[in-house]
Structure formats: C-alpha cells, structure tokens
Amino acid sequence: MRINYKQQQLIIELLAKVQEMYPEIKFKNLEVSPDDPEHIWINVIADMDEDREIEMSHFCSNLEYDILMDYGYAISIMASNPNMVYA
C-alpha cells in the first residue's frame, strides 16, 4: 500500500479526533478496501457496547465525508469488537 504525505497526515488527524471522543479504541492497522484500491481503511479495536459503536460510526462518517469532499481521499475507520458474539 502506498500512502502519500497528505493521506498520512489525514489518517493521523482522523484517528486522533476519533480517539479523543472514544478513547477506548485502539489502532490495529491500515488496509486497502478489497473493493476499491483507493479506499484506505483504518482498522481499530473497539471494545464498547453496540450503541456506543453505532454512535462512533456516525461520528466517524461525518469526519470521513469531510475528508472525501475536501481532499478527495476515501479514508474510513473500520471497527472490530473483540467481545462481539456472533450467532
């Protein structure tokens, strides 16, 4: 994965803003979307209940939209919850 300086700066800023509101999230890694090689995923571990995770997703989506509109880069926070039980 190749990331330019501006993308790196935006990733750091986005993650910092989200961690400020949701300090329980932990950075895991960066990944490229399997559907779009121009879309960067910031994978985080989100040890929180489902309501808080939904709230965080809405918060992130506004920031991610601003980045896309202002800079043209698709960058998304992708949360995984280690305590989620899948039926």
What is the Cα–Cα distance from 49 to 83, expressed in whole angstroms?
9
pLDDT digits (tens, 9 = 90+) for 25-54: 999 999 999 999 999 999 999 999 889 999
User: What's the pLDDT score for residue 25?
Assistant: 96
Alpha carbon 16 to chain centroid distance? Answer: 10
The mean predicted confidence, pLDDT, of the chain is 94
What is the Cα–Cα distance from 85 to 28, expressed in whole angstroms?
20
- All structural domains of the chain with their residue ranges: 5-80
User: What's the pLDDT score for residue 31?
Assistant: 96
The CATH number given to 5-80 is 3.30.70
